[in-house]
């Protein structure tokens, strides 16, 4: 989302890149879900790439690194690496890979291979500081002497995310990367890898991770906060975009209905380093505000899909949109209009309502029907204020709350019974 806004703000190209080099974890249904999410949000992509189609290119770069002495074979098993890590920690040392694989003799390598071991491959980092100007975090400096040489290729020959992304960033001329602050150390290693191939790194922005409204940690895979769940709940895409484009900044979060306008006002440097609090109540507020301002033309097709008759669709939308929390709420009012309502009559109004209904004006009800009726009932019964209007609303709609009755009444039928 932030990457799309960055691309649109700068007039650039937004790349949808599918990291699918791990066949076991990269199912087509996940790709389809990602596309569906972006399409729902209206975040169209300008270029589509799949890493699984670029394996020959990654193999070529890996061989280039081997020839440069930057990619070396390691034969430790996961268990051996974990034991070594625990031993380092118990000795008060940082759990950094000790590069023991660089000292293996030919006989040791042959012995490992005879056991059936296959190597994984690590990139040999220069043990120096890597520095860059981050668009959110400012000046960043990472000492790569305190970082393990990253594994680039698994023992089954499969490439991990890091080398593929580095090669893609160079080949695709990526200029800006926006991602979570948990990737800061990864960025330092990737910058070294990019420069080892004679290229210059892109501009990075590392945003803070989301926390809940009260500061609790949120998993980025938390089901209740997935885009699919928001879609199923009836959240408007622009409500979510309006929130995420400002969440983590000191700027006011306002409902927006135009994506390009949102992008034009976007400024990645306004984001702070403090954890951003994600409050679902804010989504509900933005969602309602957007619906309240949405013109009929933008929802005409959705109203038709919801079964609202064309002849009343515009009038109904304009009457009720100011009371909607989500679009699906329109169905309640469409049903009341189409079928009539069962009156909700309080015991204390049992005598009042029949008297009031007898005073209903003849149909069809026009724009002044509500005022004409309530004026007549007031004159006949002496009731006024809430004691007058609330029982009459509940008699016609069966609802205690709702749209302005003056706008709604011309669409209604007399109450059932």
Burial label, 359 (beta-carbon count in 10 A; 0-12, 13-18, 19+): middle
Per-residue pLDDT of the chain (417 residues; tens, 9 = 90+): 999 999 999 999 999 999 998 877 788 999 999 999 999 999 999 999 999 999 999 999 999 999 999 999 999 999 999 999 999 999 998 999 999 999 999 999 999 999 999 999 999 999 999 999 999 999 999 999 999 999 999 999 999 999 999 999 999 999 999 999 999 999 999 999 999 999 999 999 999 988 888 777 765 444 556 888 899 889 999 999 999 999 999 999 999 999 999 999 999 999 999 988 888 899 999 999 999 999 999 999 999 999 998 899 999 999 999 999 999 999 999 999 999 999 999 999 999 999 999 999 999 999 999 999 999 999 999 999 999 999 999 999 999 999 999 999 999 988 876
Phi-psi region of 140 (alpha: psi -120 to 50; beta: other; left: phi over 0): beta
**Structural domains in the chain plus CATH codes:** 54-207 (3.40.50.620), 211-292 (1.10.1160.10), 303-411 (no CATH)
Which CB contacts under 8 angstroms, 24+ apart, belong to 194-200?
194/166, 194/169, 194/170, 196/65, 196/68, 196/70, 197/61, 197/64, 197/166, 197/167, 197/170, 199/170
Q: What pTM did the predictor assign?
A: 0.86
Buried b (16+ CB within 10 A) or exposed e, 253-271: bebbbebeebbeebebeeb
- Is beta strand 176-180 parallel, antiparallel or unpaired with respect to 203-207? parallel
């Amino acid at each position: 989302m932030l990457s799309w806004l960055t691309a649109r703000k700068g007039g650039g190209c937004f790349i949808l890149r599918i990291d699918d080099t791990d066949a076991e974890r990269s199912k087509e249904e996940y790709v389809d879900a990602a596309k569906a999410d972006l399409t729902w949000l209206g975040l169209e992509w300008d270029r589509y790439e799949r890493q699984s189609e670029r394996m020959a290119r990654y193999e070529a770069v890996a061989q280039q690194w081997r020839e440069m002495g930057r990619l070396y074979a390691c034969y430790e098993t996961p268990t051996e690496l974990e034991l070594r890590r625990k031993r380092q920690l118990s000795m008060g040392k940082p759990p950094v890979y000790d590069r023991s694989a660089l000292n293996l003799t030919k006989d040791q390598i042959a012995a490992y291979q005879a056991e059936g071991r296959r190597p994984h491959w690590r990139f040999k980092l220069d043990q120096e500081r890597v520095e860059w100007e981050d668009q959110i975090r400012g000046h960043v400096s990472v000492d790569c002497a305190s970082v393990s040489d990253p594994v680039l290729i698994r023992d089954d020959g499969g490439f991990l995310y890091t080398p593929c992304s580095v090669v893609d960033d160079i080949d695709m001329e990526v200029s800006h990367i926006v991602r979570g602050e948990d990737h800061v150390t990864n960025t330092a290693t990737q910058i070294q890898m990019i420069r080892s191939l004679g290229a210059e790194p892109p501009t990075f922005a590392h945003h803070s991770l989301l926390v809940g409204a009260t500061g609790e940690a949120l998993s980025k895979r938390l089901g209740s906060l997935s885009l699919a769940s928001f879609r199923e709940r009836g959240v408007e895409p622009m409500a979510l975009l309006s929130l995420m484009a400002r969440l983590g900044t000191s700027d006011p979060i306002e409902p927006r209905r135009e994506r390009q306008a949102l992008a034009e006002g976007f400024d990645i440097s306004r984001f702070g380093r403090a954890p951003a609090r994600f409050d679902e109540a804010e989504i509900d507020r933005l969602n309602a505000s957007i619906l309240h301002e949405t013109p009929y033309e933008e929802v005409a097709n959705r109203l038709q899909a919801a079964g609202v008759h064309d002849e009343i669709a515009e009038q109904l939308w304009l009457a009720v949109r100011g009371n909607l929390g989500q679009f699906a709420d329109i169905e309640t009012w469409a049903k009341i209009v189409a079928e009539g309502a069962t009156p909700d009559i309080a015991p204390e109004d049992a005598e009042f309502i029949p008297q009031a209904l007898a005073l209903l004006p003849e149909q069809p009800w026009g724009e002044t029907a509500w005022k004409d009726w309530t004026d007549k009932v007031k004159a006949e019964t002496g009731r006024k204020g809430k004691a007058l209007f609330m029982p009459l609303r509940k008699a016609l709609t069966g609802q205690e709350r709702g749209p302005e009755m003056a706008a709604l009444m011309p669409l209604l039928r007399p109450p059932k019974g």
